[in-house]
Amino acid sequence: MIQTLIRLILGLGLLILSHHGYAQSISLFLNQATVSVGEPLEVAVAANREEIAAAVADVYLAVQFPDGSLYYFHSPEAISTKNQIAPLVRSWSIQTLSPMTLISLEVPKRLPSGTYKWYLTLCQIDQDVAQPVNWIANTSAQVVLTNNGDGNTSLEEESEPISSKDTTTTLAGGDMPAAVAPPSSVDSYSDDAGEVEVSSEEGVTILPFPPTDLPTKPSLPIKEDIPVQSGTLTAGDIDDNLNFTAFQRYLDKQYQADNNKILPIVKVSDRLTLQVVNAQGQGINQARIRLNPVGQTSPVMNAVTGSNGYFYLFPQFDNFNYSRLDLQISPPEDVLASPATAINTTLDLEQLEPNHVFTFTLPNTISQLPPALDLMFVIDTTGSMSDELHYLTTEIRDIISQVHDHHPQVFIRFGLVVYRDEGDEYVVKSFDFTDSLNLMQIQLSEQRAQAGGDYPEAMEQALAKAVNMQWRDGNIARLLFLVADAPPHDENLAAMLTQVRNARQKGLRIYSLAASGVADTAEWMLRVTSLLTQSRYLFLTDDSGVGYSHAEPKVACYRVTRLDQLISRVIASELAGQRFEPNETQIIRQVGTYQAGVCQTNETPAN
């Protein structure tokens, strides 16, 4: 009996605990996990007023199609046109709700198969719901429409209309459908977080199936069939700065195997670690690092620390042609501090041991984590990248929702650069930063993975465009995800490294994501890029069974989780100034001996 019920439910109430210690509690329910044409689908909501940090909110309900397009309900009977934002209820006086039906419909014909995600968001009154900082609470649920044989219709065809009838209970700010009674008891259910015990005393409710007295609701628009499944791609990662000795061995092997001498020599063995802290030992985010040749005023390096207070110098890679450098470390530019707070010293590079660690203390300086994030995706859109492109399109909202759960007060801007190669329809196409998550998702959904001919692509041109976009200055986390399965052309590898140097000066963190088909040169390029920008090398794995085969990375240890969980952890880590590890229920597989990102070998862990 329980197993039958498990198959028929999708969600249970989610208690969202924020990084700042207050709770936001709304719940979205669906009566089925999978559905076919003609079957009933019911969407219900519950809310706990005591755990929502607001009294009034605008309410938004949207359904995301398998291709990433969004349709908002502006009433229980009416749905918006594609990607047009509309509230379901304005100025709703938030109150505690038992599970209450919002939408009931009979699944129409000719909808594409795949995953349909439903999103319920409480937003600050009269604020833009496309900017996550305005969310009061947010939750989601999903249902998979199985292939019914009618999912390949054109966009011009219309679905069969569904008549609307409903009984409603009036609430302040608008009408909500009548409540659905929960079952008397439920033992447990299982989702991707493992088996969870639930009971009616905990306020967790599972809708009965089939629903009684089921009303019909509005028809849904037809979309082309792009059966992208949700949360299916899997990935691991390695922080080569934490495993620096192993990375140097990897570099040596790559150069030894490079018989045609294609790879530019990247010298990193002289790495110096600068750690900047305050009087309490907390890392100082965005502390200014300025290096001048002794007695000169023009800097050879003008960069900032990361949110953990660290900055890595690579004198040979950074083209320091001087043995003695004046170093000035000053507080972040948007922190009030006396000029005397700055630290001035001289580095004699010839007298320093490799991998030397300097710790500098800035007294009377408050450690402030970034209140804002500039987030950019640079994506190879050649033909072999269709799985990755579709995945990011359908998962970007969930990724940002996970980040928002930990950092609800962070204002996020989104940027996008896509690229192919010379001779294709375009080489590089860019989209300016926007503070609209909806617009970002629209831009992603409009891209197609096509062309690409030979193996290498115009990665260096795409990175040049990305580095020169209008990134914000000051106390901002600046993250770039480079998603690729091929390197630049051999003759452009050095040009790619030039852009990496530029990214270092701007304080950009480049997280490389290796897709299917990555070979030796691509792995070398992506790992070098992430190491030099103090980031991690992310790579897809075969654990999902989706797409082309993925090469095993040349690393000693890693943990495999869902890709959306990994990306959200990476972003959250940058905002918090500390590394977040997956919990045990998220780990799909582990390779090697792993501890907090460090592979347990004979080497001494680096910071």
State pLDDT tens for residues 139-154.
Answer: 999 999 987 544 443 2
In DSSP terms, 558 is beta-bridged to 591
| pLDDT tens for each residue of 263-298 | 999 999 999 999 999 999 999 999 999 999 998 889
* Total Cβ atoms within 10 A of residue 39: 16
Judged against a pLDDT cut of 50, whether residue 20 lies above it is answered with no
Residues in Cβ contact with 375 at an 8 Å cutoff, skipping those fewer than 6 apart: 412, 413, 414, 415, 479, 481, 571
Residues 445 and 538 grouped into a single domain: yes
pLDDT value, residue 546: 67
Average pLDDT over residues 557-569: 96
pLDDT tier at 76, thresholds 50, 70, 90: confident
Residues 159 and 255 grouped into a single domain: no
Contacts 24+ apart (CB under 8 A), 11-17: 11/141, 12/189, 12/196, 12/198, 12/204, 12/205, 12/206, 13/46, 13/203, 13/204, 13/205, 14/139, 15/51, 16/137, 16/138, 16/139, 16/405, 17/405
Average pLDDT over residues 243-250: 96
pLDDT value, residue 159: 37
**Strand-by-strand arrangement of the 301-304 sheet:** 301-304, 288-293, 324-330, 343-348
pLDDT tier at 78, thresholds 50, 70, 90: confident
DSSP one-letter string for 426-448:
-SEEEEEEES-HHHHHHHHHT--
Residues in Cβ contact with 600 at an 8 Å cutoff, skipping those fewer than 6 apart: 557, 592, 593, 594
- Whether 207 is in a domain gets the answer no
- Whether 220 is in a domain gets the answer no
pLDDT value, residue 322: 86
Report the alpha-carbon distance of residue 480 to residue 461 in Å, rounded. 15
Judged against a pLDDT cut of 90, whether residue 127 lies above it is answered with yes
**CATH at residue 130:** 2.60.40.2550
- Whether 128 is in a domain gets the answer yes
- Whether 193 is in a domain gets the answer yes
**Count of the separate structural domains present in the chain:** 3
Judged against a pLDDT cut of 70, whether residue 411 lies above it is answered with yes
- Whether 211 is in a domain gets the answer no
Element (H, E) at 560: strand 558-562
pLDDT tier at 109, thresholds 50, 70, 90: confident
pLDDT value, residue 100: 86
Last residue of a domain, one of 333, 361, 389: 361
User: Which token pair is 568?
Assistant: 């959200």
Average pLDDT over residues 313-322: 92
* Total Cβ atoms within 10 A of residue 271: 22
Residues 190 and 88 grouped into a single domain: yes
Judged against a pLDDT cut of 80, whether residue 173 lies above it is answered with no
Average pLDDT over residues 531-556: 87
Nearest alpha carbon to residue 566 among 599, 543, 600: 543
- Whether 516 is in a domain gets the answer yes
Report the alpha-carbon distance of residue 544 to residue 233 in Å, rounded. 5
Judged against a pLDDT cut of 60, whether residue 228 lies above it is answered with no
Conformational region of residue 459, where left means phi above 0, alpha means psi within -120 to 50, and beta covers everything else = alpha
Average pLDDT, the chain: 81
CB 301 within 8 A of CB 313: yes
Residues in Cβ contact with 249 at an 8 Å cutoff, skipping those fewer than 6 apart: none
pLDDT value, residue 11: 30
Nearest alpha carbon to residue 67 among 467, 365, 391: 391
pLDDT value, residue 548: 64
**CATH at residue 343:** 2.60.40.1120
Report the alpha-carbon distance of residue 556 to residue 243 in Å, rounded. 9
pLDDT value, residue 167: 31
CB-based burial of residue 480 (10 Å sphere; 0-12 exposed, 13-18 middle, 19+ buried)?
A: buried
Average pLDDT over residues 56-74: 93
Give the three-class secondary structure for 499: helix
Last residue of a domain, one of 309, 337, 361: 361
pLDDT value, residue 369: 93
Q: For 72, what's the count of Cα atoms within 13 Å in the CB-facing half-sphere?
A: 15
Residues 258 and 356 grouped into a single domain: no
Give the three-class secondary structure for 186: coil
Range of the domain at 425: 234-263+369-599
Judged against a pLDDT cut of 90, whether residue 421 lies above it is answered with yes
Average pLDDT over residues 67-86: 88
Residues 241 and 291 grouped into a single domain: no
81 vs 127, residue with greater confidence: 127
Task: Provide, rounded to the nearest whole percent, the portion of the chain with pLDDT above 90.
Answer: 64
Average pLDDT over residues 553-571: 95
pLDDT value, residue 149: 47
Average pLDDT over residues 362-378: 93
Last residue of a domain, one of 336, 361, 386: 361
- Whether 229 is in a domain gets the answer no
- Whether 383 is in a domain gets the answer yes
Residues 424 and 306 grouped into a single domain: no
Nearest alpha carbon to residue 153 among 217, 106, 220: 220
Judged against a pLDDT cut of 90, whether residue 577 lies above it is answered with yes
Residues 484 and 410 grouped into a single domain: yes
Among 160-174, 206-220, 437-451, where is mean pLDDT lowest? 206-220
Report the alpha-carbon distance of residue 385 to residue 396 in Å, rounded. 16
Give the three-class secondary structure for 208: coil
pLDDT value, residue 71: 94
| H-only helix segments in 189-273 | 244-257
Residues 332 and 378 grouped into a single domain: no
Q: How far is CA 505 from the centre of its chain?
A: 24
Report the alpha-carbon distance of residue 80 to residue 64 in Å, rounded. 12
Average pLDDT over residues 577-588: 94
User: Which token pair is 141?
Assistant: 């649920």
Q: For 205, what's the count of Cα atoms within 13 Å in the CB-facing half-sphere?
A: 25
DSSP one-letter string for 387-405:
HHHHHHHHHHHHHHHHHHH
CB 249 within 8 A of CB 266: no
pLDDT value, residue 160: 37
pLDDT value, residue 77: 76
Residues 285 and 170 grouped into a single domain: no
Among 162-166, 307-311, 347-351, 421-425, where is mean pLDDT lowest? 162-166
Report the alpha-carbon distance of residue 289 to residue 380 in Å, rounded. 33
* Secondary structure (H, E, C), 4-18: HHHHHCCCCCEEEEC
User: Which token pair is 378?
Assistant: 């640079």
Average pLDDT over residues 13-31: 52
Element (H, E) at 581: none
Residues 183 and 320 grouped into a single domain: no
Place of tokens 């918006």: 80
pLDDT tier at 525, thresholds 50, 70, 90: very high
CB 145 within 8 A of CB 77: no
Residues 306 and 396 grouped into a single domain: no
**CATH at residue 576:** 3.40.50.410
Report the alpha-carbon distance of residue 144 to residue 230 in Å, rounded. 9
Residues 431 and 477 grouped into a single domain: yes
Judged against a pLDDT cut of 50, whether residue 493 lies above it is answered with yes
Q: What is the CA radius of gyration of the chain?
A: 26
User: Which token pair is 176?
Assistant: 């909500």
223 vs 348, residue with greater confidence: 348
User: Which token pair is 430?
Assistant: 């860019």
| pLDDT tens for each residue of 23-43 | 348 999 999 899 999 999 999
pLDDT tier at 602, thresholds 50, 70, 90: low
